[in-house]
Each structure stands twice: as structure tokens, then as C-alpha cells.
């Protein structure tokens, strides 16, 4: 929608993996959304712009190749992944689905582009979680290393905290291999966890919103805490709550993608950007949500649960984030006003909250027991 509004010819490809998994595991988003063809029609009626679509699996190379050969895109934005860390840690079936889906979609896209649109700019959604939580500063993609008196510039070391994050690391490696070998043009965006409800395009159109997930598997932490506050459930802080990450508003994800597409890297370059606006630890987020909730008369509490994940609960964290600002990104901060708007949106749909979806069901140690 953001690109179509700017006069670009846009096509969307999706196989409804997210919807199918949500249905199978009984974890629907807070509000049900129409399917893609209907959403494209609604967009046309509100904006006058047409977005074409194809429903199919990008793991099917012939399907994807046909689309790239016909459409001949200048830019391809690759979102198509199983993107839940807990899902990828549930058991062997979920782990295999995540591994095969995520690596195959990236691999097929690379080959479709090499064959039919070799000059296209691939914009890949990576994740800040690829870097893990090293005890040194995190750079934007690359690190200059001096070793035994010699220097080189290499991919910043990566160490994912879940299989999902590990598949994203594989993606970065695959892209870098094909960039340096065949001269593809790629931007890999290392994005932190996203929160929020609306973007400029969806603000007054509820049927055009993205899915607002709040369950333990699909929900990202700020959205989950907002729902928990409204539902009167103590906010589920895992362990000590000192886990620090870089967060961003959904509005800024769109802003960033548009900036990245409009400012291509050099042909044959692998550009890596970090994207988040603010670093917080989980306890700080819980406190912010409680404070915003109180300003609306909701008394929210915090519960420290046994941590279902294997992760450091207190650690050093300092990630560089300069390149998007240099391209002109105007950050949206996690203010009390922003949280109040989210709380108000959730309150409108309070009756739809399924309280059985709140507590963490996937433990990192379970994956082994169920394998």
C-alpha cells in the first residue's frame, strides 16, 4: 500500500502460511482480517490504486519464476518466512517447516532474480536477533577485524537464540554468497521486534490493518503486554526481565522499506542496515505499559515467570543504528501516547481476547523432549 500510494506498480505474493498456522494452532489474531483479494479491492476503492496479487508458495520455484519473469520487478521485498521464534522451537515438525520454508524461499528468490531480473534490488527482512547478545558492540552488518597483525572486513559474527533466528542467519549467508559470486544487489535489514497497530495507509481502514497477534507464539512483546494489561492478566515478563533488544513502531518499518527502496545500494552491493528506534529491556517495557494503562484507569501488574527460553537475562547490549537515519528515517518513539492508542485499540476488541493464549507454551528444552 505504501508503494502503490507512491505510484509504483505493486504485486503481492503470499501462500497464507501465517493464517494457516494460526488456524491449525488455534491462535487467531485479535481481529479477523479479510483475505488478500478482498483487501486489494478495498485498497482500490479507498485509494484508486490497483495492487495485483498471486496466492502461492514461494518454495515452488516454477510458480515464483513465472511471476518474476512476467512482472520483471525493479525491487523485491522478501517478507515470506515463518517468523515466530517459539514456533520454530516447538518440535521437529515446526523446526523443519521453519528451516525448509525460510531457506527455500530465499534460495528460490535468488535464482528467480538471477534468471529473470538480475538487476532487481532484493530487500530482505533479516532480524536484529541474528547477532544475539554479544559482550561487544553490535555493528551494522560488518566488522573490521585485526588478527595477528592483519586486517579484514567480514560479516559481523552471528549467533541466533532460536532456530528461526538461525534460519535468518543462513539467509544472510546465502545472499552474501550470491552477491559476491554473481553480483546481485541486496539490502538486508536487521530489524528489531515490531510493535503498534496502524501505518499511514491503514489508519482509517480496519480491514487493511496487519494482523495484531497477542498469543505467546506469534505475538511480539509490546503488543502482548498491551493485551495482557487490558485483559487484567499480570504482564508475563520472562525471568529477570533484563533481556535488552532494539524495538520499533510498525510505522517505521514502512518508512524504512520505502527509504531503502528509493535509495538503492550500488549494483552488486550487499548493504546491511540495523533497524530499531530505541533499546529497552523487557522490565522497562512492562513498566511503560503499566504506566500508560494506569493513565486510562487500568491497574496492570507484572509477573516474573520462569523463562521458557534459553537467553541471557542480564547482559551488555549496544547496537549501532545509523544508516537508516542517514537515509532520512524520522523515528517514532514508544511514548505514553503511542501506548495509550494501542491500549485503546485493544480495549475496543477486549471481548475477543482468548485468555488461554497468554501463558508461554513453548520451552526451548521441550523441543528436544518432543523430537
Q: Which residues belong to the active site? A: 127, 164, 168
Residue 219 C-alpha cell reads as 505475538
Phi/psi at 75 (5° precision):
-135, 140
Residues in 4-33 that interact with ligand NAD by CB under 6 A: 13-18
Number of residues binding to ligand NAD, judged by CB under 6 A: 22
105 binds ligand NAD per the rule CB under 6 A: yes
**173 alpha carbon, distance to own chain's centre:** 18
Phi/psi at 200 (5° precision):
-55, -35
Cα-trace Rg, the chain:
20
Q: How far is the CB of 209 from ligand NAD (least distance, A)?
A: 11
193 binds ligand NAD per the rule CB under 6 A: yes
Residues in 107-126 that interact with ligand NAD by CB under 6 A: 125
Q: How far is the CB of 150 from ligand NAD (least distance, A)?
A: 35
Q: For residues 216 and 235, what is the distance between their CA atoms, to the nearest angstrom?
A: 12
Pick 80 or 343: Cβ nearer ligand NAD: 80
Q: Which of 127, 162, 185, 244 binds ligand NAD (CB under 6 A)?
A: 127
Binding mask 160-179 for ligand NAD (x = CB under 6 A): --------------------
Residue 28's CB: how many other CB atoms inside 10 A? 19
Q: How far is the CB of 154 from ligand NAD (least distance, A)?
A: 23
Pick 21 or 296: Cβ nearer ligand NAD: 21
Q: How far is the CB of 101 from ligand NAD (least distance, A)?
A: 5
Q: How far is the CB of 59 from ligand NAD (least distance, A)?
A: 5
Q: For residues 161 and 169, what is the distance between their CA atoms, to the nearest angstrom?
A: 11
Q: Helices marked H in the chain — which ranges?
A: 2-5, 17-24, 36-47, 61-71, 85-88, 92-116, 163-182, 221-231, 250-262, 282-294, 323-327, 336-348, 366-369
Q: For residues 96 and 107, what is the distance between their CA atoms, to the nearest angstrom?
A: 16
Pick 211 or 298: Cβ nearer ligand NAD: 211
Q: Could you tell me which residues come within 8 angstroms of residue 190 by beta carbon, excluding any fewer than 6 positions away? A: 126, 127, 128, 130, 131, 140, 141, 272, 273, 274, 275
194 binds ligand NAD per the rule CB under 6 A: yes
Q: For residues 235 and 306, what is the distance between their CA atoms, to the nearest angstrom?
A: 13
Pick 29 or 308: Cβ nearer ligand NAD: 29
Pick 15 or 187: Cβ nearer ligand NAD: 15
Q: For residues 315 and 133, what is the distance between their CA atoms, to the nearest angstrom?
A: 7
Pick 59 or 243: Cβ nearer ligand NAD: 59
58 binds ligand NAD per the rule CB under 6 A: yes
59 binds ligand NAD per the rule CB under 6 A: yes
Q: For residues 315 and 156, what is the distance between their CA atoms, to the nearest angstrom?
A: 19
Binding mask 71-90 for ligand NAD (x = CB under 6 A): --------xxx-x-------
Q: How far is the CB of 233 from ligand NAD (least distance, A)?
A: 21
Pick 34 or 268: Cβ nearer ligand NAD: 34
For CA atoms 351, 291, 306, 224, the dihedral sign is positive
Q: Are 2 and 258 in contact (CB under 8 A)?
A: yes
Q: Which of 88, 101, 106, 185 binds ligand NAD (CB under 6 A)?
A: 101
What 3-state DSSP class applies to 83?
Answer: coil
Question: Contact residues for ligand NAD (CB under 6 A)?
Answer: 13-18, 57-59, 79-81, 83, 101, 105, 125, 127, 191, 193-194, 211, 220
Amino acid at each position: 500500500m505504501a508503494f502503490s500510494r507512491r505510484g509504483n506498480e505493486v504485486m503481492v505474493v503470499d501462500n497464507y502460511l501465517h493464517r494457516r498456522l494460526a488456524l491449525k494452532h488455534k491462535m487467531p489474531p485479535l481481529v479477523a482480517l479479510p483475505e488478500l483479494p478482498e483487501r486489494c479491492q478495498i485498497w482500490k476503492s479507498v485509494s484508486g490504486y490497483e495492487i495485483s496479487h498471486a496466492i502461492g508458495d514461494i518454495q515452488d520455484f516454477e510458480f515464483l519464476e513465472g511471476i518474476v519473469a512476467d512482472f520483471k520487478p525493479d525491487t523485491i521485498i522478501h517478507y515470506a518466512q515463518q517468523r515466530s521464534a517459539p514456533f520454530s522451537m516447538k518440535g521437529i515438525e515446526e523446526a523443519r517447516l521453519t528451516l525448509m520454508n525460510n531457506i527455500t524461499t530465499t534460495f528460490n528468490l535468488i535464482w528467480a532474480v538471477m534468471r529473470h531480473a538480475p538487476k532487481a534490488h532484493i530487500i530482505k527482512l533479516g532480524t536484529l536477533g541474528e547477532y544475539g547478545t554479544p559482550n561487544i558492540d553490535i555493528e551494522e552488518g560488518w566488522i573490521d577485524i585485526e588478527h595477528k597483525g592483519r586486517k579484514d572486513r567480514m560479516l559481523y559474527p552471528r549467533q541466533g537464540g532460536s532456530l528461526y533466528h538461525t534460519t535468518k542467519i543462513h539467509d544472510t549467508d546465502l545472499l552474501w554468497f550470491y552477491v559476491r559470486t554473481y553480483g546481485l544487489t541486496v539490502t538486508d535489514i536487521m530489524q528489531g521486534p515490531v510493535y503498534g497497530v496502524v501505518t499511514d495507509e491503514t489508519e482509517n481502514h480496519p480491514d487493511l490493518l496487519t494482523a495484531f497477534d497477542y498469543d505467546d507464539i506469534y505475538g511480539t512483546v509490546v503488543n502482548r503486554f498491551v493485551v495482557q494489561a487490558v485483559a487484567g492478566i499480570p504482564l508475563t515478563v520472562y525471568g529477570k526481565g533484563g533481556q535488552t533488544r532494539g524495538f520499533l513502531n510498525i510505522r517505521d518499518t514502512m518508512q524504512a522499506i520505502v527509504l531503502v527502496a528509493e535509495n538503492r545500494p550500488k549494483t552488486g552491493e550487499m548493504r546491511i542496515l540495523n533497524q530499531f528506534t530505541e533499546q529497552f529491556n523487557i522490565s522497562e517495557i512492562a513498566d511503560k505499559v503499566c504506566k500508560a494503562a494506569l493513565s486510562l484507569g487500568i491497574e496492570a501488574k507484572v509477573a516474573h515467570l520462569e523463562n521458557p527460553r534459553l537467553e541471557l537475562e542480564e547482559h551488555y547490549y549496544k547496537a549501532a543504528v545509523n544508516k537508516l537515519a542517514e537515509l532520512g528515517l524520522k523515528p517514532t518513539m514508544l511514548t505514553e501516547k503511542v501506548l495509550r492508542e494501542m491500549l485503546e485499540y485493544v480495549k475496543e476488541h477486549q471481548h475477543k481476547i482468548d485468555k488461554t493464549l497468554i501463558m508461554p507454551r513453548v520451552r526451548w528444552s521441550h523441543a528436544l523432549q518432543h523430537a
